Chains A and B, each alone.
Chain A
Amino acid sequence: MSITEQDVRHLCKLSSLALSDAEMSRMAGELEAIVGYVKQLQAVDTTGVEPIANVAGLVNVTRPDVPGQMLDQRQVLANAPAKNDVAILVPKAVER
């Protein structure tokens, strides 16, 4: 199996990345090489082995649901690329 430009186009959509055609064709080859390398994992017998997500053995760490000090509106808006006095501005999200 090889990674085609069509696969890369699909990955661009999933990752929200608008790549140029040149970038996409280069990416197909690069991903192909890396995926080819990681395929060696298929050779390892993992029958009955539980996948590990974190080495600390933590599961669903929770804390009491108590309101605390967070960033205020001014701080949150400070880094926004487009804003007015009270909100972050984005292009229209819903078509009528």
Chain B
Amino acid sequence: MSSSSVRALSAREIAAAVNGGASATKEVEAALARAKADTNNAILRVHHERALAAAKRIDVRIKAGEKLPLAGVPIAIKDNLCAEGIEVTAASKILKGYVAPYTATAVQRLEHAGAVVVATANMDEFAFGSSNETSAYGPVKNPVDPTRIPGGSSGGSAAAVAAGIVPISLGSDTGGSIRQPASLCGVVGMKPTYGMVSRYGLIAFGSSLDQIGPFATNVADAALCLERMSGWDQNDSTSAARNHAGLAQFASGNSFGTLKGLKIGYVPEHAKGLQNEVGAQLEKAKQALTDAGATLVPVAMPHEQYAVAIYYVLATGEAASNLSRFDGVRFGHRTAEAGTLPEMYAKSRAEGFGREAKRRIMLGTYVLSTGYYDAYYKKAQQVRRLMCRDYEQAYAKCDVILGPVSPTTAFKFGEKLSDPLQMYLSDIFTIAANLAGVPAISVPFGADAKGLPIGLQVQGAQFADDLVLRVAAGLEQLNRA
């Protein structure tokens, strides 16, 4: 099945129809049926009762004269986002059976705008992975070519949109976990500026890096979803109190404006080591942007080469701390062989966590431990600051930075699973945006000779999310031309 053979669902079209009197219940029923018929293991759970009850409420509100920006739009959420009454497991055995007692702010805001959660999407366990092969529920298949990985860690969310099950899904991105699967599955995926979207109700991985973001079939839908989710939340002290008027403007229509006069930065070193077709598409995009009136500006990012190394120190350190809450006491798996209390903790965790989760906990504990903290953790924090300065200097010269998302198109199952370091290096172009907290989007731009999708990345300065979306929309139009 190729990505072009499925109906490209549009959230805005569905919302317009429902606001115009079409039945939200029918839209949701259709999405529930598609989710149930999923053949890619993208969907872990389908929420019939909850979704139909929500759809009915929307039908009543619309009949009463209300207009809702996402009226009746079915969505899937990654298995690390809480929605009250729904099982959420982070695709880990350690959380099997856990039912969320509250709803994540991002999900709650979309529901308030009329969206309906129809399904939970598969993912790498605790978002630890770039291929969706570490899920306790088995890997997700790429809808474009089921012999290949969909990318990760939000592989199920990307595949659910690519397969036409839902027009919008939510993922989380700590080092590329939205953008890389979006690129490999041929859909739009965005990691907003750190602080744009509240992380309340997101199962934490790396708290200084995590950000919730949308997958969509088109840039305008992603903008609409982001606009609805973003804003300050008293339950997340790192959420930003900002006015997102620019986003609202994009979300309201198709007027993305012109690319004329924009300064598009690029990092010359990014061209090295790319699959030929990925490099060719990047060059094609640069030419098309120039033809559309933008100016290309080479920028230097001397510390970006250290991004993966910084990340696997800081992200694992934060993960080791965050995952200490899973101890078999208040929730989650508890061993049947408990002796003493410390034995109960250690056995419950060993039985509940998968291999990659254990590896990252151990690595994170190592870099935080006495004797190694200064050499690894503090050092990584210092180089992270240098990398942030690279970005600041770059954005003094350009408006956005264009580059690759993934060095290659979707790879085969098992290809990188046995070598953790090779797997980590597949995030080489996406990690820097998380370390710097800047917005970044993957937008489809052509395919390789096998028909596998290629995504290009647009990054911006902190809180220039609207500008990033504007350039992405420009690329989307140029790709169609």
Chain A residues close to B by CB (< 8 Å): 3, 7-8, 11-12, 14-19, 23, 27, 30-31, 33-35, 37-38, 40-42, 44, 46, 49-56, 58, 61, 63, 71, 75-76, 78-82, 88, 90-93
Contacts and interface: CB of A to CB of B under 8 A. Distances in A.
Nearest to B234: A63
Interface stretch (B6-14, B248-256, B357-365): B357-365
Contacts of B381: 51-53
Contacts of A14: 365, 369
SS of B interface (majority): helix
Nearest to A23: B358
B362 A41 contact: no
B148 to A, nearest CB: 25
A62 B309 CA distance: 33
B266 interface: no
Given A52-B388, A76-B101, A79-B330, 6 more contacts: A7-B366, A15-B361, A42-B375, A52-B384, A79-B98, A91-B343
Nearest to A24: B362
Interface in B73-117: 97-99, 101-102
B329 A90 contact: yes
Interface in B356-383: 358-359, 361-363, 365-367, 369, 375-376, 378-383
The 6 closest A-B pairs by CB, nearest first: A55-B437, A51-B381, A61-B237, A46-B382, A81-B334, A79-B331
B342 A16 contact: yes
Given A16-B327, A41-B309, A42-B375, A27 B362 contact: yes
Contacts of A78: 99, 101
Residue from B338, B358, B375, B383 whose CB has the most chain A CB atoms within 10 Å: B383
B332 interface: yes
Contacts, number: 166
27 contacts: A8-B362, A11-B365, A14-B369, A16-B324, A16-B346, A17-B353, A18-B346, A27-B362, A31-B363, A34-B312, A35-B363, A41-B313, A44-B382, A44-B386, A49-B386, A52-B382, A52-B385, A58-B238, A75-B101, A76-B330, A79-B97, A79-B101, A81-B332, A81-B333, A90-B344, A91-B338, A92-B340
Contacts of A34: 312, 363, 420-421, 424
A44 B329 contact: no
Contacts of A44: 303, 306, 379, 382-383, 386
Contacts of B306: 40-41, 44
Given A41-B383, A52-B381, A52-B388, A88 B194 contact: no
B237 A58 contact: yes
B341 A40 contact: no
B320 interface: yes
A61 to B, nearest CB: 4
Contacts of A27: 358-359, 362
* Chain B interface extent, by class: 35 or more
Contacts of A88: 329-330
Contacts of A17: 346, 349-350, 353, 358, 361-362
Contacts of A81: 328-329, 331-334
B339 interface: yes
A30 B385 contact: no
A22 to B, nearest CB: 12
Contacts of A11: 362, 365-366, 369
A44 to B, nearest CB: 5
Residue from B309, B320, B333, B340 whose CB has the most chain A CB atoms within 10 Å: B309
Contacts of B369: 11, 14
A1 to B, nearest CB: 10
B401 interface: no
Contact of A93 (B341, B375, B376, B436): B341
B442 interface: no
A83 B131 CA distance: 38
A73 B425 CA distance: 45
A67 to B, nearest CB: 14
A53 to B, nearest CB: 6
Contacts of A7: 366
A49 B329 CA distance: 41
Contacts of A91: 338-341, 343-344
B271 interface: no
Contact of A56 (B97, B238, B327, B331): B238
Given A16-B345, A17-B362, A18-B343, A41 B99 contact: no
Contacts of A37: 308-309, 312, 421
B240 A56 contact: yes
B274 to A, nearest CB: 21
